[in-house]
A = this chain, B = another copy of it.
Amino acid sequence: MPTLSLPFLGHGGDYNPDQWLSRPDILEEDVRLMQKAGCNLMSVGIFSWAALEPEEGVYTFDWLEGVLNRLHAAGISVFLATPSGARPSWMSQKYPEVLRVRPDGGRNLHGGRHNHCFTSPVYREKVAKINEALARRFGHHPSVVGWHISNELSGECHCEMCQQAFRSFLKDRYGDLDALNAAWWTGFWSKTFTDWNQIHSPTPQGEDALLGLTLAWRRFVTHQTVDFVKAEMEPLRRLTPDLPVTTNLMCCFGGFDYQTLAHQIDFTSYDSYPGWGVGPDEKNAAEAAFNYDYMRCLKNRPFALMESTPSQVNWHDICKLKKPGMHLLSSLQAVAHGADTVQYFQWRQSRGGAEKFHGAVVSHEGSENTRTFHDVAEVGETLKKLQDVRGRMPAPKVAILYDQENRWALDRSEGPRRDKKYLETVIRHYAALKRRGVDVDVIDETCDLSSYALVDAPLLYMLRPGAAERLTRFVEQGGVLTATCMTGRVDEEDLCFLGGFPGPLRPLFGIWAEETDALTDSECNGARMEDGSVYDTHYYCDLIHAETARVLGTYASDFYAGAPCVTENEYGRGLAVYVASLPGDELLDHLFSRLLSRAGVKPLVPDLPRGVWAASRGEYLFLMNFSGREQCLSVPDGTELLSGRAVRGTVSLPATGAAVIRLTSC
């Protein structure tokens, strides 16, 4: 399989010249400005179907050839997009089947973007044809270095073809209705299915309280989306076997499982839009970093930062400008966590349309004389200094377990509180690990654990097949595993484990969780540790019995004050720690500090100040200051690449500043 392998760190963005075909002067000016901004990589053709096939079967590719030629002449490479993110109007008009059907059974009209049925044979055929034509015409154009499939895949369709495909998927998964009925526990409320055609996708107008069905539907949406992507790629794989393929993914997206998709594409790419300046930037930085590490781990390779804004977005409630320095810092953050490109949406602001006020390298004003353009050119300059980072990867000894199927099951499960806090908790735990100054992988339940010394698995409600065994083996062989309340409740079908929670992990943690209390958002309990200190805990309180585990902390209040709250269980050569509630930041800091030490994991930098982030790629150490004020750090010796200066012992970072140190010895 090919992979992303550029001769440079990529810099550029979505380039939509089809909006400006009537302005050849602007098309020329674009290339001049790209060179001036240090751009070397453009994504071309996203959403261009109407310009590429204005009527059915009539392909008008010449303008695109002109664009590719001009870019190539200027030394700029291209991710060539397939245009399937939006259909031309004529297609919806002639073939209404390509349009999505809503959960209420109504078929959408043409509009928006996406909004197509992934099952529709007509849509698949039209996509395959234009992809084939693009691959034949441009697949070997010297500017093209990769395929950009569709755009931000999402959504689902409830049409009759999708219902049939769903039933086929279920037949494959369960074999017969008895197995399906058992898995979905349909005996409750008389939901037993006696004919496959009785099964319909979940909808508020029909069945939406059967979690087995809902989970199966989410798995089907994953399956069908990935199947569509495979069909999209077929002509590309056939005609351009050496070109790597990606599709751009989204922040915290939960509509289908990215891990499943990742197996089909050659490299991941990501669209990053933190709300810098709205809320604390330390929190914004944590969410961004978590997603970068998630992207890096999906294929365990560097990824492309496919979209970001050089200025502000236009679709947040409050769209702040990036403060001076923030564009460089936030771009370096992506690189620090594994990005081999820094790309923008979009190159030039649209005059009209839904995103006309979205930040772009070239504004409506049109010149290079803007703060944003200068910021972009500065990133271009900086990336040139960091070329050798390309392709490097960290080697984390620490992983956090974030599982999409667990998220679906937990979030949709009823009780003991409505708002489950899963994603928020995972990111909070991730940030606490990063505060310890270590590199962190983001993995799911299907991943191999053998390379890690510590794995944190908050709210691991659902244990998918093999997960309990992998976690147990991990600890047996010396790993440190941390878990929280609500662990080990259900199997992959959301059937509760009988015999006492955390189900198959009961021996590993050496505890039995008999009950789980819920706290309101404004309540807290606390863990009173052996030394008498008390740390806040939140949201849930498992009432646990320590069976083989040792009690490290007890509840501080409520009727279960004094009962075990934090336990550890020596198991094989490792340690399994159970926090029966959800720990606040202070307890996380306390526990991770102690447990990373026990696991033998050393920080990249000692005593990292709050708000400063560290990440490594090979011998390159990135230090990023989101704290809002100047910080001085102890660091290993090396060369700081932005300044080109040698570093001995300490480095000083201005507010919103960064350093990239090539370490002398790593």
- A residues engaging B (CB < 8 A)? 16, 18-19, 21-22, 47-51, 54-55, 83, 85-90, 92-93, 102, 104-106, 108-113, 182-195, 197-198, 200, 203, 205-212, 278, 311-321, 323-324, 349-358, 363-366, 370-372, 413-419, 490, 493-501, 512, 514-520, 543, 559
* Partner among B21, B88, B113, B195 whose Cβ is within 8 Å of the Cβ of A93: B195
Q: Which of A187, A189, A313, A320 has the most CB of B within 10 A?
A: A189
Q: Quick check: B417 and A16 within 8 Å, CB to CB? A: no
12 A–B contacts from the bound complex (CB under 8 Å): A85-B190, A88-B190, A88-B192, A88-B194, A89-B193, A112-B206, A318-B518, A319-B415, A356-B415, A356-B496, A370-B514, A371-B515
Q: Quick check: A188 and B50 within 8 Å, CB to CB? A: no
Distance of A351 from chain B, by nearest CB (Å): 5
Q: Quick check: B83 and A190 within 8 Å, CB to CB? A: yes
* Partner among B18, B357, B415 whose Cβ is within 8 Å of the Cβ of A312: B415
Chain B residue nearest in CB terms to A560: B321
Chain B residue nearest in CB terms to A55: B194
Query: If the complex has contacts A111-B203, A194-B88, are A188 and B352 also in contact, measured as CB distance less than 8 A?
Result: yes
Chain B residue nearest in CB terms to A185: B352
Q: Quick check: A349 and B496 within 8 Å, CB to CB? A: yes
* Partner among B47, B90, B349, B494 whose Cβ is within 8 Å of the Cβ of A198: B90
Q: Quick check: B351 and A192 within 8 Å, CB to CB? A: no
Q: Chain B contacts of A209 at CB under 8 A?
A: 111-113, 354
* Partner among B102, B195, B497, B498 whose Cβ is within 8 Å of the Cβ of A90: B195
Q: Chain B contacts of A105 at CB under 8 A?
A: 106, 109
Distance of A620 from chain B, by nearest CB (Å): 29
Q: Chain B contacts of A90 at CB under 8 A?
A: 194-195, 198
Q: Chain B contacts of A185 at CB under 8 A?
A: 19, 350-353, 356
How many angstroms from the CA of A198 to the CA of B95 in the assembled complex? Answer: 12
How many angstroms from the CA of A500 to the CA of B416 in the assembled complex? Answer: 52
| Minimum-distance CB pairs A-B, first 10 | A314-B415, A109-B206, A185-B352, A111-B207, A357-B415, A188-B353, A111-B206, A50-B192, A19-B187, A50-B190
Chain B residue nearest in CB terms to A105: B106
> Besides A86-B190, A185-B352, A319-B417, 19 other CB < 8 A contacts?
A21-B187, A50-B187, A51-B190, A51-B192, A90-B194, A102-B205, A108-B206, A109-B203, A111-B209, A188-B354, A189-B353, A314-B416, A318-B518, A318-B519, A319-B415, A356-B494, A365-B499, A366-B498, A370-B514
